[in-house]
Structure 1
Amino acid sequence: MSLDQVDWAVQRLCDDALTPSDEDFARWLAAVDAAVPLSGELTLRLVDSEESQTLNHQWRGKPRPTNVLSFGYGDMPELLGDLVFCVPLVADEAQAQAKPCLDHWAHLTIHGLLHLSGYDHELSSEAEIMEAQEIAILATLNISNPYETPHAA
């Protein structure tokens, strides 16, 4: 696992038993870096619903928390960007979607990193490309396609 071009840190302002370890984040970062080379400084910030809602409202005009926000700094190449995760919402979503919590964290981390790398999903054609990249990276981690509906047993 090599992340020679990325200087990254985790800020744990909100944490619970289901949040990833630094080793988990390192594994996911390396998987993205193998597919889409990353470079620059990166901050992963784990926050509560209140901070997520404040940031989502301030930057996206949406008055509710969101699972992950990506803040890129395209005019400053030494900065990869910031990913801000809403810890309680990620856990709630994983449970509601009947997915292993760490798999959902991995998906959201990869999703956010792809945004910081220039991918987007505003148009359906862009979404197809981004989702295919997410699915391919997750597969390298033995994580199922997050866009498939689980089959009832």
Structure 2
Amino acid sequence: MSAKKAAAAGGEIVVQRQLASARGVPSAPSLRAFARAALPKRFGELTIRIVDEDESRALNRDYRGKDKPTNVLSFDGDAAMSAQGVLGDLVICAPVVAREAVEQNKTLREHWAHMVVHGCLHLQGYDHEIEPDARRMEAREIRILKSLGFPDPYQ
């Protein structure tokens, strides 16, 4: 049975890690654990693509109209993809995550966990464009990261 069919059958979140940039990237089992914590009632396939700043910038420009690299982008699937067990894709920029970890005085692992959780919440419809939504999303992130043994990423 393929990973996609197994995921659609239930009980598993399948994470496919694609590496276009690999500095300091957590292992596939770690990424899977971070995603599972953020997607506890979901089953399916999640692709996490690790990219460099050029690819992140191009995607952010093309899909969000922002001509700069960003830490994480989330792409949810359409109804047909969802019916096939596809949760969506996360695109995480390794150099941006590494830089932000230093700037925010976090371990690289802490910040990777936060970016995976943050992206997974976006796939579930959470947003942070307006203050009440941002507070709700941040509270959820804090709870999930605490369950993984990480401190509040906003302190």
- TM-score by length of structure 1 reads 0.88
Q: Distance in 2 between matches of 1:107 and 1:8?
A: 16
Matched to 2:26, the amino acid is P
Match of 2:86 in 1: 79
Find 1:114's aligned residue among 121, 132, 135.
121
Cα distance in 2 between the residues matched to 1:52 and 1:142: 29
One-letter amino acid of the counterpart of residue 4, structure 1: G
Are 2:5 and 1:14 aligned? no
Separation in structure 2 between the aligned mates of residue 141 and residue 91 of structure 1, nearest angstrom: 20
Which of 135, 150, 155 pairs up with 1:128? 135
Q: Which residue of 1 aligns with 2:57?
A: 53
Match of 2:67 in 1: 63
Give the Å deviation of 1:74.
4.2
On the 8 A contact 1:38/1:117 being kept in 2, the answer is: no
Distance 1:74 1:112 in 2: 17
Alignment correspondent of 1:151: none
Per the alignment, residue 30 of structure 1 pairs with: 36
Contact persistence 2:15–2:32 (CA under 8 A): no
Q: Which protein has the bigger helix share? A: 2
Q: TM-score scaled to structure 2, two decimals? A: 0.87
% identity of equivalent residues: 44
Where structure 2 has 5 or more consecutive residues not aligned to the other structure, the ranges are 1-9
Aligned AA (1:47): V
SS in 2 for 1:43: strand
Q: Post-superposition, which runs of at least 4 consecutive aligned residues in structure 1 deviate over 6 A?
A: none
CA distance in 2, matches of 1:88, 1:21: 16
The unaligned stretches of length 5 or more in structure 1 are 149-153
Matched residue type, 1:118: G
Q: Secondary structure at the match of 1:80?
A: strand
